[in-house]
Amino acid sequence: MWSAVVDGLVDTGYAIVDGALGDWLCQKLRREAMRLSATMWQAAGIGRNEAYQINTQVRNDEIVWLPQDSPACAEFLKTMESLRLAVNQALYLGLFSYEAHFARYAPGHFYQKHFDAFHGQRGRVLTTVYYLNPGWRPEDGGELYLYDAMSASEPCEVVVPVADRLVVFLSERFPHEVRPAGKTRYSIAGWFRIHHTNPLLSLV
pLDDT, tens digit, for every residue of 33-45?
Answer: 999 999 999 877 6
Does residue 198 surpass a pLDDT of 80? Answer: no
Domains of the chain in start order, with CATH, are: 3-41+60-187 (2.60.120.620)
165-170: strand order across its sheet = 14-18, 165-170, 124-131, 185-193, 97-105, 62-65, 42-43
As a whole number of angstroms, the distance between CA 203 and CA 195 comes to: 18
Give tens-digit pLDDT for 133-157. Answer: 999 999 999 999 999 988 889 999 9
As a whole number of angstroms, the distance between CA 140 and CA 151 comes to: 27
Most confident residue range from 59-68, 107-116, 155-164, 194-203: 155-164
**Residue 62: its pLDDT value, please?**
92
**Residue 28: its pLDDT value, please?**
98
**Residue 94: its pLDDT value, please?**
94
